[in-house]
Structure 1
Amino acid sequence: MSWGYFDNSQEPVCRVESGDIVRIETVSHHAGDAPDYMMDEGVRKIYDEIDVENRGPGVHIVTGPIHVEGAEPGDVLECRILNLEPRLPYGSNVCANWGLLYDDFDDTEYVTIYEVDQETQTAHARFQYEYPDLYDTPGRIIDPKSVDREPVLADIRVPVRYHFGTAGVAPAADGKIDTVPPGIYGGNVDNRNFNVGTSMYYPVQVEGGLFTAGDSHIAEGDGEISGTAIEAHVDAVVQFFVRDDIDISAPLLETEEYWMTHAFDADLDIATRKAALEMISFLEETKGLSEPESYSLLSVAADFQSTQVVNGEKGMHCKLRKDLFPPSSD
C-alpha cells in the first residue's frame, strides 16, 4: 500500500495469472475528516504507519501493485469488477479549494459526512462542518470536538454507486508518479460507471501491468465539481484478464449497455476531441467502420460527458450504446 504515488519499481504485493480473482481492500485518504465514523483499527494503523514524509506527491492511498503474468507493453489488461462493498458505511465529501466553485463560496471549504442505508442502497448526509483551515495535508485527522457539526440535506437520499476512483496499470515513467492527474495508464479516472459487472481495459505500460487501485467512492456525479465524490473505504473482488485482441491507447470501459472511451487534458475541449478520436479508432478497429461513418455516428448517437473537472487533467468520456450494432459485431 502506498500513499500518493504510483511507482513501476515497486515489488508486487502478489502475482496472479490471467483469469485469477483477487480481493482488494481500498482505504480512503479522507478518513480523518470524521475519525469517529471512518476509522477502525486497521485504517488507523495505516494512518499511523505511513509517515507524512512518505506521502505524496499525490494524495490517494492506493493498494498494490498486482503483477499479472503475461501482461506486456502492447497488451491490454482487463479489470472486471465482481463485487464492491463498503468496509464502513460512511464517506466524506469535501467542498475543497481545488473544486470548481471554491472562489464563488468565499474561499470556504466544507466537509459533509454521508451514511449508507444498506436496505435502500442510498446515502444520506449525517452532518456538515466548515473545515478549520486549508485542506492541503493528505490524511490530516480532525478532532470531532474542534468543529461544529450541523445537520444538512434533510430527507435527501443519494443512490449508492460504489466504484474505484483511482485504478490502473503502472505508468511507464520511472519514479514516484502523482496519483492526482489521470493518464493513459488510468489512475484517477473517476468514472462513476466503473462498478459491479463492468470491465475497464488499460493499455499495459510495463511488464506485469502492475495494477493498483484506491480512492473508492460511494457515489459521484459526473464532473465531481466540489473536488471529491463521497470518499470511502471499499472492499472489491476483481478478475484480471490479459487481452491481445483489443488495441487501445487510453482506458476503455465496457458496461452492459455502453462502450466508453476516455481522454484527459487541462483543456476540456481538447479532452473532448481526444475522447472522440479514441472512439473513432475503436470503431474502426472493432466494428469495421470508416472515419466518416464513425464521425457521423458519434454526432447522432454518442454522449460526451465530463468524468471530472477538478484533477488538473480534466476528464471526458465518450459513451456509445452497444445495441446500435448487430450482436455478432460485439
Structure 2
Amino acid sequence: MDFISDEKIIHSMSSTNEPIAEVKPGETFVVKTRGPGIPDEVFEKDYSDGQYPQRILSITGPIYIQDAEPGDVLEIAINDIEFDEEGKMWMGQWMGILMDEVQKPYLRKVKVKDGKAFFSEEITFPVRPMIGTLGVAPSEGEIACLYPGVHGGNMDVPSVAPGNKLYLPVQVKGALLATGDVHAGMGDGEVFGTGIEIGSKVTMTVNVIKGKKLRHPMVETPNSYEIIVSNEDLVEATKEATREMISFLQERLKLTFEEAYALTGQVANLKFGQVVNPIYTISIEVSKSLLEGQQ
C-alpha cells in the first residue's frame, strides 16, 4: 500500500499545482495529514487593534488520479483514520459563530487516546473521526483550502468519515485530489470555529465513475445519501440543497417535481456542516431504505 507523506502541502486548490503522487482507480493508499501549525503565542496576544492572524489550511496533495477526466465522478472511500496523540481546538475574535462576543483568544490542547478525547481530566468523550477538507482542483483559477464549494474543499461535514464514500465532480484531468484538516471531534455546525484539529494518517480507496453527472458533492453511508451544498448565503444553500434532493428523488423514483418536493419535505433531513466559514456548508440526507427496489 502506497504511503503519501505530508512533506509537500498546498494552501489552495488549483489545476496548476504539481502532483506529489499518482494513483490508479481501485488503488488503496495512505495519506499523512498535518496537525495545525499554530504557535501558542498567537493566543497570548492582544488583538484589540483588529489585526487578527491570517487563517491558512495546510493540505496534503495534490494526488493525480489516473483516467480521471472532466465530467467524471471521483469516488473516495474513506477506510480508516489514525490520529496523532494530541490535537488542538481554538477560537478568537476572528472565528466562531460568536466571535463578536469573544473577549480574548482561547487555545486548548486535547489528548486523544483509546478512542477518547480528553477535554480535561474530568471531561472525556468519544472521538468523532472526520475529514474537514477533501477536494479536487476547480476547473478555473484557484480556491483557498479554507473554502468549500462544488469541488469539495473545507466542507467540515461530519459524515466525511471512515466507512463512508464521498463523490466529487471531476473538473480537471487527473482530478488533483487533496486532503487534510482532519478532526478527532466536531459538533454539527462547528460553532466554536474549529473541531479538534489533529494530524493523521488517512487510508482511502479511489475509483473513477464514467457517464454519471454530479452537480454537488455527495456522501454515501451504509444507510443514506447526503448531498452537500455550500453558499455565502445560508438560505440560498438551503434552497439549493432542497432543489438537489428533489431532482435526486425525481430521477430515482420517477416522480413529478411536486411529488418529489412533497416527499423531500417528509423524509429528508437538513443538516449543518459548518456555519463559521465565510461560505456556509449544509447537507440534506435521505435514507437508502426509501430507494430500495427503485434503482
TM-score range normalised by the length of the shorter chain: 0.7 to 0.9
* Aligned partners of 1:33 and 1:92 also within 8 Å: no
- Aligned partner of residue 284 in structure 2, secondary structure: strand
1:170 aligns with 2:167: no
Normalised to the residue count of structure 2, the TM-score between the two structures is 0.88
1:22 aligns with 2:29: yes
Distance 1:255 1:272 in 2: 21
- Aligned partner of residue 123 in structure 1, secondary structure: strand
1:284 aligns with 2:291: no
- Matching residue of 1:293: 259
Whose helix fraction is larger, Structure 1's or Structure 2's?
Answer: 1
Q: 1:23, CA displacement in angstroms?
A: 0.8
Note the 1:154-233 alignment, pairs <5 A: 155-174=122-141, 176-233=142-199
- Aligned partner of residue 221 in structure 1, secondary structure: coil
* Cα shift readout 1:270-325 (whole Å, capped 9, x = no counterpart): 11111111222222333433322221111111111111011100011001111122
Q: 1:95, CA displacement in angstroms?
A: 2.1
- Matching residue of 2:3: none
Q: 1:163, CA displacement in angstroms?
A: 1.4
Q: 1:70, CA displacement in angstroms?
A: 1.3
- Aligned partner of residue 150 in structure 2, secondary structure: coil
Distance 1:266 1:2 in 2: 26
- Matching residue of 1:52: none
Output the amino acid matched with 2:87. G
Choose from 5, 15, 20 the match for 1:8: 15
Output the amino acid matched with 2:264. L
Output the amino acid matched with 1:239. T
Distance 1:12 1:26 in 2: 16
* Cα shift readout 1:201-221 (whole Å, capped 9, x = no counterpart): 000110111100011110111
Given the superposition, is the C-alpha separation of residues 307 and 113 from structure 1 closer, same or farther in structure 2, using an over 3 Å criterion?
same
- Matching residue of 1:122: 116
* Cα shift readout 1:177-234 (whole Å, capped 9, x = no counterpart): 2111201000001011111110000001101111000111101111101111110001
- Matching residue of 1:239: 205
- Give the root-mean-square deviation of aligned CA atoms: 1.9
Q: 1:100, CA displacement in angstroms?
A: 0.8
- Aligned partner of residue 158 in structure 1, secondary structure: strand
Matched pairs, number: 276
Note the 1:49-198 alignment, pairs <5 A: 59-86=56-83, 88-96=84-92, 97-106=94-103, 108-118=104-114, 121-126=115-120, 155-174=122-141, 176-198=142-164
What is the identity percentage for the equivalent residue pairs of Structure 1 and Structure 2?
Answer: 33
Distance 1:157 1:329 in 2: 43
Given the superposition, is the C-alpha separation of residues 285 and 12 from structure 1 closer, same or farther in structure 2, using an over 3 Å criterion?
farther
* Cα shift readout 1:249-286 (whole Å, capped 9, x = no counterpart): 11000111111111111211111111111222222333
Query: Gaps spanning 5+ residues in structure 1: where?
Result: 35-56, 127-153
- Matching residue of 2:45: none
* Aligned partners of 1:123 and 1:158 also within 8 Å: yes
- Aligned partner of residue 157 in structure 2, secondary structure: coil
* Cα shift readout 1:111-142 (whole Å, capped 9, x = no counterpart): 11111131xx121224xxxxxxxxxxxxxxxx
* Aligned partners of 1:30 and 1:232 also within 8 Å: no
Q: 1:7, CA displacement in angstroms?
A: 2.1
Q: 1:329, CA displacement in angstroms?
A: 3.0
Normalised to the residue count of structure 1, the TM-score between the two structures is 0.79
Choose from 263, 281, 306 the match for 2:272: 306
Query: Gaps spanning 5+ residues in structure 2: where?
Result: 1-7, 42-53
* Cα shift readout 1:25-80 (whole Å, capped 9, x = no counterpart): 0102345349xxxxxxxxxxxxxxxxxxxxxx961111111111111111100110
